């Protein structure tokens, strides 16, 4: 049994706005196992970033956690004071953001920026921290590190900057690394390099990763487990194989279906737009865009139905009384592949 290092239970977050309360996170539960990568996927506004910002305690001023708990080493992070959070952030839980330029300080040498958390959290002397920073620069693949350590962020390309951000995030050997769309701003070839680096560093520092992205291709390559979010809720949760080859929720179907695979020449889109979270719908939030919606979807929110020990989906289609539906062609193809994989495994 894998060790759970993070346990999020029934998290609810509201944003206070002029227009009213935006219910950004509506009852989200998940856990992260040691050494694993959990990918959270979803559209903008689905709550994936807000979820992780609650974990690291970086919610905006107008946001409020209105319920739930986030257990890290048996302690509820949400109960910690700002001061306690400061000693946690960057040391036990660190984060990398989408835009490497805005997360680096333009007026500081990159060496100082990498050394800073060591001096603050690990009580290292400046000299020790500088040496460790140099080692880290080498590890993240910056060529000529002895010279580049004295450079400023603007002297690096986007991909190199993201490598530096990764170095800063991992320099204290954190237990959890939260990566919020870390490669979205990068070109595909650079993205591939950064993803390889992240996998490599994950092994080296034995960290667990929460990876936020909307790119299902990246998820397929990075994740052990996947949580699919929609309108402030997790609608499906499972191992990467379960989500990609045996998805159960119509929204997951829609997502997989709207990606052009290099082999296909058909593209199905999900009609409509996500619901307004100022006034979330009563039933299944996806009902309005769901071709498979039933009457009950508009009235009652579906609970999680268990598919396997690791796989859950919140859709009424899994209810024993629900009619059997045939998912889109692409999903049927994936399920076939899954059946073949499982058969091969059992042989």
Partner 1 sequence: MPEKKKLLEVKNLKQYFGSGKSTVKAVDDVTFDIYEGETFGLVGESGSGKTTTGRSIIRLYDPTDGQIIFDGKDVSQLKSKAEKLEFNRQMQMIFQDPYASLNPRMTVEDIIAEGIDIHGLAKDKEERGKMVRDLLETVGLNRDHASRYPHEFSGGQRQRIGIARALAVQPKFIIADEPISALDVSIQAQVVNLMKELQEKRGLTYLFVAHDLSMVKFISDRIGVMHYGKLLEVGTSDDVYDKPLHNYTKSLISAIPIPDPEIERHRKRIDYDAAIEEPDDGKERELREITPGHFVRCAEDEVEMYKQRAAEYEK
Q: Which two tokens stand for residue 72?
A: 């890290």
Tell me whether residue 102 or residue 261 sits nearer to partner 1 (CB atom): 261
Which residues, 6 or more positions from 347, have their beta carbon under 8 angstroms from its beta carbon? none
Tell me whether residue 2 or residue 267 sits nearer to partner 1 (CB atom): 267
The site string for partner 1 over 144-163 (x = CB under 8 A, - otherwise) reads --------------x-----
Torsion of CA 227, 228, 229, 234, to 10 degrees: -60
Q: Which stretch binds partner 1 (CB under 8 A): 65-73, 132-140, 204-212, 236-244?
A: 236-244
Size of the site for partner 1 (CB under 8 A): 42
Interacting residue with partner 1 among 170, 256, 287, 307 (CB under 8 A): 256
Interacting residue with partner 1 among 82, 146, 203, 265 (CB under 8 A): 265
For residue 66, which of 17, 26, 29 has the smallest C-alpha distance? 26
- DSSP code string of 139-206: HTT-SSHHHHTT--GGGS-HHHHHHHHHHHHHTT--SEEEEESTTTTS-HHHHHHHHHHHHHHHHHHT
Is residue 255 part of the contact set for partner 1 (CB under 8 A)?
yes
Q: Which stretch binds partner 1 (CB under 8 A): 87-95, 111-119, 218-226, 277-285?
A: 218-226
Strands (E), 193-301: 208-213, 225-230, 233-239
Is residue 21 part of the contact set for partner 1 (CB under 8 A)?
no
Q: Helices 188-205 and 158-170: crossing angle, nearest 10°?
A: 10
Contact between residue 65 and residue 76 where contact means Cβ atoms under 8 Å apart: no
Give the separation between CA 221 and CA 92, rounded to whole angstroms.
Answer: 25
Q: Which of residues 273-312 bind partner 1 (CB under 8 A)?
A: 273
The DSSP secondary-structure symbol of 53 reads H
Is residue 221 part of the contact set for partner 1 (CB under 8 A)?
yes
Is residue 341 part of the contact set for partner 1 (CB under 8 A)?
yes
Tell me whether residue 130 or residue 237 sits nearer to partner 1 (CB atom): 237
Binding site for partner 1 (CB under 8 A): 43-44, 158, 187-192, 195-196, 214-221, 240-241, 244-245, 254-256, 258-262, 264-265, 267-271, 273, 334, 337, 341
């Amino acid at each position: 049994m894998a060790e759970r290092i993070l346990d999020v239970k029934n998290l609810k977050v509201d944003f206070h706005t002029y227009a009213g309360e935006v219910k950004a996170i509506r009852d989200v539960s998940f856990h992260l196992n040691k050494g694993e990568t959990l990918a959270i996927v979803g559209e903008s506004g689905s709550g994936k970033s807000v979820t992780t910002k609650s974990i690291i305690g970086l919610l905006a001023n107008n946001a409020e956690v209105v319920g739930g708990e986030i257990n890290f080493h048996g302690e509820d992070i949400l109960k910690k004071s700002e001061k306690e959070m400061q000693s946690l952030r960057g040391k036990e839980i660190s984060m990398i953001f989408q835009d490497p330029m805005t997360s680096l300080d333009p007026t500081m040498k990159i060496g100082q920026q990498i050394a800073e958390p060591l001096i603050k959290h690990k009580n290292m002397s400046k000299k020790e921290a500088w040496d460790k920073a140099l080692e880290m620069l080498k590890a993240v693949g910056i060529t000529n590190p002895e010279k580049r350590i004295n450079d400023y962020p603007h002297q690096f390309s986007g991909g190199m900057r993201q490598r530096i951000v990764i170095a800063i995030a991992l320099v204290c050997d954190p237990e959890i690394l939260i990566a919020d769309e870390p490669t979205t701003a990068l070109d595909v070839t650079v993205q591939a390099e950064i993803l390889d680096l992240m996998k490599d560093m994950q092994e080296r520092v034995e960290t667990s990763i929460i990876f936020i992205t909307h790119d299902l291709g990246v998820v397929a390559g990075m994740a052990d487990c996947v949580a699919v979010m929609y309108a402030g809720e997790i609608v499906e949760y499972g191992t990467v194989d379960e989500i990609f080859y045996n998805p159960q929720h119509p929204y997951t179907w829609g997502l997989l279906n709207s990606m052009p695979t290099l082999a296909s020449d058909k593209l199905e889109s999900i009609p409509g737009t996500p619901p307004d979270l100022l006034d979330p719908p009563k039933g299944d939030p996806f009902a309005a865009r769901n071709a498979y919606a039933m009457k009950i979807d508009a009235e009652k929110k579906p609970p999680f139905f268990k598919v396997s020990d690791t796989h859950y989906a919140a859709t009424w289609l899994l209810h024993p009384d629900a009619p059997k539906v045939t998912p889109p062609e692409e999903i049927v193809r994936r399920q076939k592949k899954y059946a073949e994989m499982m058969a091969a495994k059992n042989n």
